[in-house]
Chain A
Amino acid sequence: MNPKDLGTKAANTWCPGCGNFAILNAIKPVIAELDEEGLVPVENVVLVSGIGCHAKIVDYVNANSFYTIHGRTIPVATGIKLANPDLTVICFAGDGDAYAEGLDHLIFAAKRNVDITTIIHDNRVYGLTTGQYTPTSPSGFKGRSTPAGLEVPPINPLEIVFASGGTFIARGYSHGIELLKDVFREAILHRGFSFVDVLQVCATFFNLYEYYNERVYALEEHDPQDAARAEEKMREWDYNSDGSIPLGIFYKKEDATFGDNFVKYRSKISDLEGAIKKTMEGYI
């Protein structure tokens, strides 16, 4: 299939220069390619989004989707995957979504190693609510709720997901679509909880293109199975100080997933009334 077939008639309302376009333009060819190769039929793909500029992506892709609410993409995606393990579930969440409002769900999804992919549109600012700090905004960030500058440092989401048990951890950037496509493809094909933090630039409220362009580099000769090295690489940049910023797949591990033990419960039992009666007999 052609990625163009994945378009919809919805008018795109992202700002000019928005980093979300890169994510949209990377995910469509990946979905098309996986369908073409017979690896993931497009009808098996379900996209789940939260609330924020990022979330509009589901209106722009002609695939199954559930446009949910702020912070809650991951539990919905988890339910879909548990309900039907044949589906390939991809979450799109913002940094406010995944790291503030819904951080508990992110930690638990990683801990469970549920077989879904989570792509974070991490622009490090609230866009749709017009410019407040998020959990990954640098200290000193002057937003509309912190005009004097943010007093506290950001979190490093990669380390949080790693510590929680995520089995695929990567970082992308909204400049450099080829790397983004490679990472998305690997993330979707990985069996387990895949996490991709995309440094997605908000051209209107926090334009970091120049900052990132000077600092990002692609991980090379990095073995993602090497947990110690992966952790070291995740710590190379803390989302606050001026370090160089590695991009690519930091960590990858094969492990049992949360859906595994549910697969046996996939058929309805044949004699429901009989089973109910038998259960009730235990209470006589």
Chain B
Amino acid sequence: MDEFSVLVGGRAGDGINEAGMIIARLFNQLGYCLYQYLDYPSLIRGGHNFTIVRASDKKIGAHRDEVNFLLALNQETIDRHKWRLMESSVVIYDSDEVKSPVAGGFGLPLKTIAKDAGAPPIAKNAGLIGAFSKASGIEWDVTEQVLRKEIPKSIDENLEVARRGYSRIDGDDRLRVEKRSYPCCPVITGNELIGLGLLRGGLDAYVAYPMTPSSGVLHFLAKVASDFSIRVVHPENEIAVILMAQGFAYAGKRVALGTSGGGFCLMTEGMSLAGMAEMPLVVVVSMRAGPSTGVPTYTAQSDLHFVMNAGQGEFTRLVIAPGDLEQAYFWSATSLDLAWKYQVPAILLSDKTLSESAYSFNLEEARDIHEIAPVLWDGVGDYRRYARTLGGGISPLAFPPISGAVVKANGYAHLESGITAEDAGEVKAVQDKSLLKEKSLIEELEGLPAVKTYGDEGSSAALLCWGSNKGVCAELGDKYGLRVVQPVIMNPFPTSQFNEALQGVERTISVETNSTGQLARLIRSCGFEADDLILKYDARPFSVDDLEERILEVTR
């Protein structure tokens, strides 16, 4: 078999995510590309958490409905996920918890095994992983090596539980995980990778107030802050976040901030200030299902038009929606460069799926990051923060303290010096400068991969997608010979690259995780049309099977 799916389920607090990650690392050692979907409700203990680890010999970025292995720590996992089983699927469960198992499953008294081995209750996972390794024909040495690396505490006891799980199960030749040749890559979440991309872009500071599903960026950067000599601040609220960030930017520090839709609502006045005062910021917005609190730990792509339009007045902004980790790395780094060159707020738009799923990240595909330098003041004459002499809408930057230079930033319309102006001519000049800047930015973006294509690039039928749906669309594009066109830059919209990507296309189908077709609406305003919409708005991402069925319906 060239691909496997493994579901691990239990209660919140059972370590389901960690168990899935260990299984992903096992496959990683054996030459597979990984995708790990994480599904959890908004609570701390109890409830039903599950994760699906999918391993393939080809690049993937989505999960499947059916699973080859179902690993259940409780009855609810069996009851909820029975429908995912195929005839050949193997079920392994904790027989101390599961009282009505499915026929043919392997029951292990995991609670008892953990207790007997003197291990903490969470070690039940290790027993499950040991049993899974045996059932899938993974050698004990590989299992032990991965467990040693991944389990921080009571490793000997955990290994003992894993060994007991391993010895109690028979291997099944049909489900043997053979070695494949996908490169062994970091398996990492989108949030962590965005953090690494920002670091690659020269990040000096990260400011955020916790909000699911963006908090992973904050946690990651706070953890590595001293290794990378950056400052990470968690202020009193999102308003303070975006304003504090502008303090960093004013003082010449490359800063990013992060939130989700609700927090971004509070940041809109700050967005507008950054527009007028020309403060370079990178704002990570990870979408979840709204409106309001909505479905906080689940996914959606419903904030595109919100982030594109948030803030009073008209000002230049960059909106980037990466669709996989390689794009996320490239654009997280490049967004800082662009924000600083053009002195604009840039939004990195993610969603729960991209932010919290783990993917194999191939650095080779994302290494080619060109440096785009900011324009700095040459120190000649009087410094004027908003000088209009250079052209392209860009004023040279200077940061205090510089003897003899006065740096005046202003959220009012202003003179070149930064002093407030309400005179009609000056007001128009400020707005013209912003428009000019947008034009220069569009020119710069023409040299960057602002639109990506996948699948069969000669096909006359195209799936249009954005953000995290890139993975599932690219896979099905390959399977059904469809062209896949993904704009990565959403604003300013890369019209000419998009037009080029659609050459020869007669029919377009927009695939989106929202209820109104936000990409379709965006491209319509640029003169393009989506002929069909495939929309999903139950706060869950498309599985490969979901989308396959919908594509077949639409194209039948």
Tell whether B228 is near chain A: CB-to-CB under 8 Å: yes
B contact patch SS? mixed
Query: What does the 1/0 interface line of B245-262 toward A look like (CB < 8 Å)?
Result: 111111111010000000
A79 x B245 contact (CB < 8 A): yes
B188 x A283 contact (CB < 8 A): yes
- A262-B226 Cα distance, complex, nearest whole Å: 10
Known: A65-B418, A268-B229. A83 touches B251 (CB 8 A): yes
Query: What does the 1/0 interface line of B378-417 toward A look like (CB < 8 Å)?
Result: 0000000000000000000001111111111111100000
B226 surroundings in chain A (CB, below 8 A): 264-265
Among B28, B225, B239, B404, the most chain A Cβ lie within 10 Å of the Cβ of B239
Residue of A nearest to B415 (CB): A10
Tell whether A113 is near chain B: CB-to-CB under 8 Å: no
B235 x A283 contact (CB < 8 A): no
- A275-B403 Cα distance, complex, nearest whole Å: 35
Contact among B200, B253, B401, B409 for A83, CB-based, below 8 A: B253
- Which one of A39-47, A208-216, A235-243 is at the interface? A39-47
A279 x B273 contact (CB < 8 A): no
Contact among B199, B236, B420 for A276, CB-based, below 8 A: B199
B406 x A62 contact (CB < 8 A): yes
A84 x B251 contact (CB < 8 A): yes
Tell whether B231 is near chain A: CB-to-CB under 8 Å: yes
Residue of B nearest to A63 (CB): B406
Query: What does the 1/0 interface line of A30-41 toward B look like (CB < 8 Å)?
Result: 000000000001
- A262-B253 Cα distance, complex, nearest whole Å: 13
Known: A44-B400, A76-B243, A108-B240. A269 touches B229 (CB 8 A): yes
Query: What does the 1/0 interface line of B182-193 toward A look like (CB < 8 Å)?
Result: 001111100010
A279 x B227 contact (CB < 8 A): yes
Tell whether A8 is near chain B: CB-to-CB under 8 Å: yes
Tell whether A280 is near chain B: CB-to-CB under 8 Å: yes
User: Contact residue range for chain A?
Assistant: 35 or more
Tell whether A68 is near chain B: CB-to-CB under 8 Å: yes
Tell whether A59 is near chain B: CB-to-CB under 8 Å: yes
B235 x A108 contact (CB < 8 A): yes
Nearest Cβ on chain B to A253's Cβ, whole angstroms: 22
Among A199-233, those with CB < 8 Å from B are: none
Among A43, A107, A264, A273, the most chain B Cβ lie within 10 Å of the Cβ of A43
Tell whether A66 is near chain B: CB-to-CB under 8 Å: yes
B185 surroundings in chain A (CB, below 8 A): 284
Tell whether B419 is near chain A: CB-to-CB under 8 Å: yes
Nearest Cβ on chain A to B235's Cβ, whole angstroms: 7
A77 x B247 contact (CB < 8 A): yes
Tell whether B196 is near chain A: CB-to-CB under 8 Å: yes
Tell whether B205 is near chain A: CB-to-CB under 8 Å: yes
- A46-B248 Cα distance, complex, nearest whole Å: 13
Given contacts A82-B244, A284-B186, 10 further A-B contacts (CB under 8 A): A43-B400, A58-B410, A64-B400, A75-B239, A75-B247, A76-B243, A79-B243, A83-B252, A87-B400, A280-B361
8 contacts between A and B (CB under 8 A): A41-B403, A43-B402, A66-B410, A67-B411, A72-B243, A79-B243, A272-B200, A284-B28
A residues with a Cβ closer than 8 A to B are 8-10, 41, 43-44, 46, 48, 56, 58-59, 62-69, 72, 75-84, 86-87, 104-105, 107-108, 262, 264-269, 272-273, 275-277, 279-284
